[in-house]
């Protein structure tokens, strides 16, 4: 028993075009929205504030007798 595709299906599979992508989609990054930028700025400010508090606590601990 032979397991082959019928002869008329093979050319159809070969000729099938690959799915089309929009131009520039390869490696393209979606533009950032303003809300994303605001959230990123708030996250950076929060991390910076925590770092400053940790530094202040370490300095106060080092100065205390």
Residues 6+ apart with CB under 8 A from 13: 5
Distance CA 5, CA 14 (A): 13
Q: Dump pLDDT digits (tens) for 5-53.
A: 665 555 555 666 666 655 555 666 677 788 889 999 999 999 999 999 9
Question: pTM value?
Answer: 0.49
- Within 13 A of 6's CA, how many CA atoms are on the CB side? 3
For residue 13, what are its two tokens?
A: 């599979």
Radius of gyration in angstroms for the set of CA atoms belonging to the chain, rounded to a whole number = 30
pLDDT at residue number 43: 97
């Amino acid at each position: 028993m032979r397991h082959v595709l019928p002869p008329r299906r093979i050319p159809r599979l070969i000729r099938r075009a690959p799915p089309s992508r929009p131009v520039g989609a390869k490696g393209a990054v979606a533009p950032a929205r303003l809300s994303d930028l605001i959230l990123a700025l708030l996250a950076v400010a929060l991390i910076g504030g925590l770092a400053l508090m940790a530094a202040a606590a370490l300095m106060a601990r080092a100065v205390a007798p």
